Every structure is written in C-alpha cells, then in structure tokens.
Amino acid sequence: MAGRAHVDDSVIERRLRPIYEWLDTGNNKKAVQEADKVLRKQSTLHCARVLKGLALLRMSRREECENLISAVIKEGPTDEATLQALTICFREMHQPDQICKVYEMAVKTEPSNEELLSHLFMAYVRVGDYKNQQHTAMKLYKLKPKNPYYFWAVMSHVMQVYVHHCLPVGVF
C-alpha cells in the first residue's frame, strides 16, 4: 500500500509541475488554464485548486481566489503541497493570521505530525503569538524530545515576559 501512495504522489507532482512552472515564469493566465486541465481529470486535487487561486490572485481576481481557497480550507487539507500553496496565497494577501488557522486545522487532523507542528510554530512566529508558540513548541518537544523544540519553548516564554515587561509570579 505504501508503494501505491508513492506512485500517486509522483503522478500528482508530475501533473502539478506545469502549473508551478507557469506561476514561476509569471504567466498566470497559462497557470489557470493548466490548473483547469488538471482539475478536469482530478477535480478533488486540493493543491491544483489552491494554485489556480494563487494565479487568480496574481491576476487581480482576489474575490475568485478567496472563494476557491475557502472551499479548499473547509475540506481540511493536510498534504504539504496544498498547505505550502495556501501559505503563499495568504502571504500575498497579507493575511499571516490565516496561515496559523490553516495549520491549526491540519494539526487537529494529524496531531502527531512533527512537520505540521513545526510549520504551525513558524506561523505563530510570523504573527508574534508567543503564547501559542510556546504551547506548540512544548507539544513538539513532548512528541519528539529534541533540544531545538525545548529552546523554542523557552525563548517563546522569554519573549512573552519581554513583551509584557513583567516577570510571572514565582520566577525569582
């Protein structure tokens, strides 16, 4: 079964590659056309829908992009390619808080996924949410006891204290 999933991933990657290439070269109209072609064959492919939304956003068709992306988000994607594409969309829309929400939903679906938790932590870093940073870093440390995760938690706590200009009761 694992072999089948690997084959499916490579097929999906091969189908998405032209969309990425058109986006990278700045030809958003062609990216939309390519995404439509992929979606005719595989209409439930989250990443293709998000990449189409990204192309629409870059074509100044923000409302269409938002509708497409919100429909994908409601389905709760957890695959890396879709989440990365959503991250790019929200960055370009200047909505970093939405990145946090997307990764929160993904972590609820897969709570023991180290990579998703790490991306969630970084999303909290971008918005300066130190309390949730600390909470996520501790989840990571409990899941995989690695020093960087523990240091992330400690530094998040330090930043909370620094921002609020006060020490918690009982520290000294």
pLDDT in tens, 121-139: 999 999 999 999 999 999 9
The CATH number of the domain holding residue 41 is 1.25.40.10
Q: Look at residue 136 and tell me if it is in a domain.
A: yes
Enter the pTM of the model. 0.87
Task: Return d(Cα 18, Cα 2) in angstroms, integer.
Answer: 26
R_g of the chain, CA atoms, integer Å: 19
Q: Look at residue 172 and tell me if it is in a domain.
A: no
- Tell me: do 107 and 84 sit in the same domain: no
Task: Return d(Cα 4, Cα 156) in angstroms, integer.
Answer: 41
Q: Give the DSSP letter of residue 60.
A: T
Range of the domain at 38: 1-94
- Tell me: do 4 and 22 sit in the same domain: yes
- Tell me: do 101 and 159 sit in the same domain: yes
Q: Which of 59, 94, 129 is the last residue of a domain?
A: 94
pLDDT in tens, 36-88: 999 999 989 999 999 999 999 999 999 999 999 999 999 999 999 999 999 99
Q: Is the pLDDT of residue 9 over 80?
A: no
Phi and psi at residue 103, in whole multiples of 5°?
Answer: -70, -30
- Tell me: do 89 and 14 sit in the same domain: yes
**DSSP sequence for the chain:** -HHHHHHHHHHHHHHHHHHHHHHHHT-HHHHHHHHHHHHHH-TT-HHHHHHHHHHHHHTT-HHHHHHHHHHHHHT----HHHHHHHHHHHHHTT-HHHHHHHHHHHHHHSTT-HHHHHHHHHHHHHHT-HHHHHHHHHHHHHHS--HHHHHHHHHHHHHHHHHHT-PPTT--
Structurally, how many domains does the chain consist of? 2
- Tell me: do 57 and 4 sit in the same domain: yes
- Tell me: do 76 and 9 sit in the same domain: yes
